Structure 1
């Protein structure tokens, strides 16, 4: 190939940097080839987002809100207690504040009220509000709340539903519904998180107000990019596919997060030894999201919202410390309830073959986490039902890849008091008398989808490469452009059978983790961490022939940021 042809074949970033051939090969393995596709993936642009008015119901929704703003009618935002719900709520609260409107919000108590639009609470709030013309906006919930929406209509609310869960067959009777999963909705991105739908509502409102001369010398149009840090956190936490529109939103949101404009998120990062100027998706998944979630799991989700809308650094720092402590309490509850659940499953004489369904007096706040833990242990869909009142049980369900949880539960709907969710996660309520039949029918429904064949998930290795060769600045910088990682864009995994372990130390309270240092053919030494592999310390010292599976990660210690190899498994030849 001559020099001109070779130069044309090179893939370049927007700044002219040539992509490393190794990075180009990794992209090719993911089906991303050619300059145009690679540029769109590595450097997504907000300008590529589809119009908010492609979403069914947007015109009606923005008209309702614009009328409320013009006439100073009250606005109530009804959220959910998980990360997606609290970030959605906080996003709209901040947005309306930018517009000069102090909207109110309500999030049900997970332990005493449960999920979604609650009629009793709605009545109480309505009785305290004398405004006859008012607006109710749900975020991350409401798509199945038929009776509660009917009540809202009777109480005089103009109701806007924003949700991303699978809609039921019967449409909810709201004045406007925003949900890309509506059958006849032309919006191209069907897998937005709830916070993504809320952001699109803000986009639509801003566009409408701009077109109608709402903004002038006294009122400046809000910069919506400042809200994208909340979109990034909520979207990554809700584990929706991270490609297309979601990738654009999250990538831009991580840039906003690095600017430290949200006092609460910045404080939460610092309280958990994270560098807020360089956050990765795994930091959101394993550090930031659990702390925000912990508030709702212990029945105080409003504290998460207060963190995310904090107006001062001191408020952010105070609440961040509180949520971090709450997460430690949540961990202890989870350990106890998971042990109880495993005991109940293994003590049961009759166990479902294709799914795990358990019912007992478990803590409702950790039902979803326990279900996830059981999916990981038994590799089949799981439902954890918690006794909440008399003969009523409420619970959470989690699935495995290839099994549509919503479809499976929908086939059992005649036995349920209510349910909602999507492919991988759902919630439901049921009477005690119907639980045995539900177990049987749910198991049959899972079998219909799997035919009894479920492969144990294994991490696919993207490439064989020595740690020393991968841990070069240009490769790591370009590999970082693959972010955000998640569903639809897994974190690259590498294998190394050549590097030597030159230092090893078991760490942690119970010595369950390993701190490692790797040496290659050169003089460079690379730090590493292996969570949960402390039991292999002696094997690592005595066995020279080993295969290390790893991925690049970030260590932030004493204000300094450095790359390290996060080891996920070590296999020995003997």
Structure 2
């Protein structure tokens, strides 16, 4: 059962409203998003490219740009080694594009998810040496590749690491000893000694900062790379970074740039997936465009997605975009099947009693383990690891809940893994098959999760009576976009609502449409997606209902009506 609570942040909402020419309702919503000072609110509402921090503030950025300037001028061959997901592909593209525009001799390599696994490995380094490469730059990986980088350095390579993942560490006494790779430069805002003010960048944003700084050092106009912000925006949303601070600006500006992009591949992908370019928002990137870019790395090779970004002709772009869309369609089918298998396993075994779910699906395609883990976490609201049989070892992906720091918990049983890494909310791992059950036992023994931790909290911004909802409020809510992790869509609630004429509609019978009426007789259209059967059953058994909702405009045959889009429901108490 969910627990609903209203966020009660205090402030003078009328004063804030007057100062920024917004309604008190909007002022309250901004305060709920932890904006307190005048400067914070100003940055949130009106931040621009000019407010982004100087990349030279990052530790080792000076070293990296000095090395790259020399390598470019000496025409030494440089290889960018990225990762096979949406962040890695865009980061690779940004570095390749930026360096080649400066006249550098640059090419790229991306590991194969199945053959190579995540990040830098010895085979990739050997391949670079065979190809006569002088310098490797990693992006969206490398921070955990201590041994591989040591090997590359022994072979005489120059290596620059750009990454945004947590720095691996070992516990020593009361503290932590961080394990930095011995590369020529290591750029990662999560370095303990990195003074960069904003730590939440994705890999593509770190790559962008490097290119921007490099342009400055080579006395080129850094504004010439502004267009690459559209790639930073795609990666930031796709890698589910918090849409706060600099990320908010990157995504806001990047989405505007995408609406008029000159990138043939992105144009073709938006066209073939049917996203509305004029009203493109973070949802379209996260749930339509992004999964297609990721599908290459999941089911084939991420080089397909990189080729799409590099496509020079419309014909080539359309062909590649259609291929990626087809791959994503088959990925969706495989995901549904995997979710069904995982649910059956949990429901019919002792797994159901575990606080941390470790689900072993040997035949599942390892590339979709993370997506299945995310879906299972949504269903059971517990940390989830989905493990699959890889080519050599068992591989897995984890997705966590707010109260459980997955990366730190995995550190407690690190001896069981052949490889692991990640963040608080997501992680990846490899281990021997004989250790699967031991891992399940150990990770559950270590878990100090209470019943309260395992109860999903629904944070409501405010109770909002129906009569306050009008077109100008709905329009004003757009000032809070882009929505996503760290900047959620506002959630309103109202109770004691009578439901009139509920009916299931849609060709897949997955939409519940009805009217709601408050105690004063005020009516509004309402719509609910998702578990429509459960919602209808609750409505039929209750006199009045409480709903959490987001208001929107429904346009149908030229008529505009206000409707509430229901997110959660409960009988009114």
TM-score (norm 1): 0.86
Q: CA deviation at 1:401?
A: 0.3
> 1:275–1:175: structure 2 CA closer, same or farther, 3 Å change rule?
same
The worse-fitting range, judged by mean Cα deviation, of 73-82 and 94-103 is: 94-103
Question: Do 2:524 and 2:563's aligned partners in 1 also have CA atoms closer than 8 Å?
Answer: no
What corresponds to 1:158 in structure 2?
158
Match 2:59 to one of 56, 60, 69: 56
Match 2:195 to one of 164, 182, 186: 186
Question: Do 1:515 and 1:529's aligned partners in 2 also have CA atoms closer than 8 Å?
Answer: yes
What corresponds to 2:532 in structure 1?
533
What corresponds to 2:379 in structure 1?
377
CA–CA separation in structure 2 for the residues paired with 1:566 and 1:69: 54
Computed over aligned residues only, the root mean square deviation of the Cα atoms, in angstroms, reads 3.4
CA–CA separation in structure 2 for the residues paired with 1:337 and 1:290: 17
CA–CA separation in structure 2 for the residues paired with 1:188 and 1:355: 34
What corresponds to 2:325 in structure 1?
324
What corresponds to 1:45 in structure 2?
48
CA–CA separation in structure 2 for the residues paired with 1:268 and 1:357: 36
What corresponds to 2:480 in structure 1?
482
Question: Do 2:264 and 2:314's aligned partners in 1 also have CA atoms closer than 8 Å?
Answer: yes
Question: Do 2:471 and 2:553's aligned partners in 1 also have CA atoms closer than 8 Å?
Answer: no
CA–CA separation in structure 1 for the residues paired with 2:286 and 2:217: 35
The worse-fitting range, judged by mean Cα deviation, of 32-41 and 85-94 is: 32-41
What corresponds to 2:297 in structure 1?
296
Q: CA deviation at 1:70?
A: 0.8
CA–CA separation in structure 1 for the residues paired with 2:542 and 2:352: 41
- Contiguous gaps of at least 5 residues in structure 1: 1-5
Count of aligned positions: 551
What corresponds to 2:212 in structure 1?
203
> 1:379–1:312: structure 2 CA closer, same or farther, 3 Å change rule?
same
SS of the counterpart of 1:389? coil
Q: CA deviation at 1:136?
A: 0.8
CA–CA separation in structure 2 for the residues paired with 1:477 and 1:147: 53
Q: CA deviation at 1:407?
A: 0.6
CA–CA separation in structure 2 for the residues paired with 1:500 and 1:437: 52
Instruction: Say yes or no: does 1:11 pair with 2:13.
Output: no
What corresponds to 2:471 in structure 1?
472
Match 1:512 to one of 502, 510, 513: 510
Q: CA deviation at 1:568?
A: 1.6
> 1:172–1:23: structure 2 CA closer, same or farther, 3 Å change rule?
same
CA–CA separation in structure 1 for the residues paired with 2:118 and 2:471: 48
Instruction: Say yes or no: does 1:78 pair with 2:81.
Output: yes
Q: CA deviation at 1:522?
A: 11
> 1:34–1:141: structure 2 CA closer, same or farther, 3 Å change rule?
closer
Q: CA deviation at 1:141?
A: 0.8
Q: CA deviation at 1:388?
A: 1.4
What corresponds to 1:3 in structure 2?
none
The worse-fitting range, judged by mean Cα deviation, of 499-508 and 324-333 is: 499-508
What are the superposed Cα offsets for residues 6-65 of structure 1, whole Å, 9 maximum, x if unpaired?
99875355xxxx212221222233343464332221111222222211111101111121
What corresponds to 2:23 in structure 1?
20
What corresponds to 2:271 in structure 1?
270
Question: Do 1:502 and 1:517's aligned partners in 2 also have CA atoms closer than 8 Å?
Answer: yes
> 1:507–1:282: structure 2 CA closer, same or farther, 3 Å change rule?
same
